[in-house]
Amino acid sequence: MTRFWLVRHGPTHAKTMVGWTDLPADLSDQAALARLSAHLPGDAPVISSDLSRAVATADCLPGRPRLPHDRDLREMHFGAWEMRAFAEIEAEDPLRIRAFWETPGEVCPPGGESWNALAGRVGGALQRLQGLAPEVIVVAHFGPIVAALQLAEGLAPEAAFAHRIDNLSVTCLRLGPRPEVFAINHRP
């Protein structure tokens, strides 16, 4: 079974709900990037979401084989909530946004996707990568990493949301008949 090294992209510094908007990552902390690269397996192939913040972060992991970017590893699609602050959305649609965060599952932003839809596409992407190599580095976003943890730990969506996933952190896990989580939100 493949061991997945899930890396959250570098920070965007946005204070809004950022999903499919293609914001760049701040990759100015060269020391943190060097520690991250040294912590990850040196010969594992690297795949990333197709959004530039993930692609650029993956580019900071030199000397490893690169796989084509995968759109299914994108962050959640926030639809009409994209690039808007929580308080602004809550003032407009308090019941829906509270349900979205407190009881994730089928609730979705207008024109966006639900947690279950995100988890389904991320699970499909990881299944396609399963067995490709003993270890695979996946550079993605908060939502896909939490979705992978939900799969590995057999959690309800609201329990998965309780995980903290910092920028440039590593979450390491194995899926399959006997899933195993080795690290969550590790900052090398």
Q: Is residue 132 part of a domain?
A: yes
User: Which CATH number fits the domain that encloses residue 68?
Assistant: 3.40.50.1240
Q: Is residue 56 part of a domain?
A: yes
Chain mean position to CA 145: 4
pLDDT of amino acid 176 = 87
Gap between the Cα atoms of 135 and 109, Å rounded: 35
| Phi then psi dihedrals of residue 143, to 5 deg | -60, -50
For 55-93, the pLDDT digits (tens) are 999 999 999 999 999 999 999 999 999 999 999 999 999
Stretch 170-174: mean pLDDT, rounded?
97
pLDDT-above-90 percentage for the chain: 94
Chain mean position to CA 87: 24
54: domain range? 3-76+115-186
Q: Is residue 71 part of a domain?
A: yes
Q: Is residue 87 part of a domain?
A: no
Q: Is residue 135 part of a domain?
A: yes
Q: Is residue 95 part of a domain?
A: no
For 115-128, the pLDDT digits (tens) are 999 999 999 999 99
Q: Is residue 96 part of a domain?
A: no
Q: How far is CA 113 from CA 59, 104, 121, 146, in A?
A: 28, 11, 11, 15
Gap between the Cα atoms of 98 and 103, Å rounded: 8
pLDDT of amino acid 161 = 84
Task: Domain count for the chain, please give it.
Answer: 1
Q: Is residue 15 part of a domain?
A: yes
Confidence of residue 162 (pLDDT cuts 50, 70, 90): confident
Three-state SS for 152? helix
